[in-house]
Amino acid sequence: MGEKHTITCLVENHFGVLARIAGLISARAFNIDSLTVSATEDPTISRMTIVVDADAAKLEQVQAQLGRLIDVIEVKELKDADFVGRDLLLVRVVVNGAKRSQLEPILQRFGAKIAEGDESSVVVEAVGKSRALDELIEALRAFGIKKLVRTGRTALERSDK
């Protein structure tokens, strides 16, 4: 296996595009770690951020195959130094009385906050790089994680790139 690569794609914003991309990825047996899609400043265009686990040859194929799709306007690999990449994490953590105070310093360290909560649990919300969120999850395990969801990486190029 290879390493993680971040690919950013601009695609036409109409129905069926996600299905085409998902179909291509499964038909060619590429390993995808995550895929996020959202609108852009231009309502006719969506941006996809795809994180793939691939060696150099496979990565070249993924990009070339994506480029063949008529609905894909641009495909680019983002190198580590070239982009700002973030995941969003939402995690429901068990907290009873005294433990709540132990949670505070951890949240501060990771710039996370409590999105909502009740007597027995809270939903922690955090935005950060994938690895930082991995660490946050580890730190929260001690409390007891009831449910967890995170988006894949979404990424934007740094300026002048």
Partner 1 sequence: MPKMKGAQILIECLQREGVDVAFGIPGGANLPTFDALYQSKIKVILTVHEQGAAHMADGYARASGKVGVCLATSGPGATNLVTGIATAYMDSIPIVALTGQVRTSVIGNDAFQEADTIGITRSVTKHSYLVKDPRDMARVVREAFYIARTGRPGPVLIDLPVDATVNEAEFVYPEQVDVRGYRVQAAPPVNPEQVRAAAEAIAKSKQPVIYVGAGVIHSGAAPELLQLAKTLNAPVTTSLLGLGAFPESDALSLGMLGMHGFEYTNLAVAECDLLIGIGARFDDRVTGKPDEFAKKAKKIHIDVDPSSINKTVQVDFPVVGDVKDVLRALLKLAKPLDTSAWLTALADMKRKYPLTYREKSRLLPQYIIQQISDATKGDAVVATGVGQHQMWAAQYYQFNHPRSLITSGGLGTMGFGLPAAIGAQFGCPKAVVWDIDGDGSFSMTSQELATASKHRLPIKVAVMNNEFHGMVRQWQDQFYEGRYAQSTLNPIDFVKLAEAYGCVGVRVEQKDDVRPAIDRAMRVTDRPTVIDFLVEKKEDCWPMIAPGKPHHQMLGTYEMLSKDGGVPQHRRATPDEESKLSLG
Binding site for partner 1 (CB under 8 A): 11-12, 16, 19-20, 23-24, 27, 57, 60-61, 64-65, 67-73
CB of 83 to partner 1, least distance (A): 22
CB of 10 to partner 1, least distance (A): 9
* Whole-angstrom distance, CA of residue 110 vs CA of residue 45: 33
Closest CA to 136 of 107, 100, 113: 107
Select 59 or 107, whichever has its Cβ closest to partner 1: 59
Exposed, middle or buried, 18 (CB in 10 Å: 0-12/13-18/19+)? middle
Select 21 or 91, whichever has its Cβ closest to partner 1: 21
CB of 20 to partner 1, least distance (A): 6
Select 14 or 131, whichever has its Cβ closest to partner 1: 14
Closest CA to 105 of 147, 132, 131, 139: 139
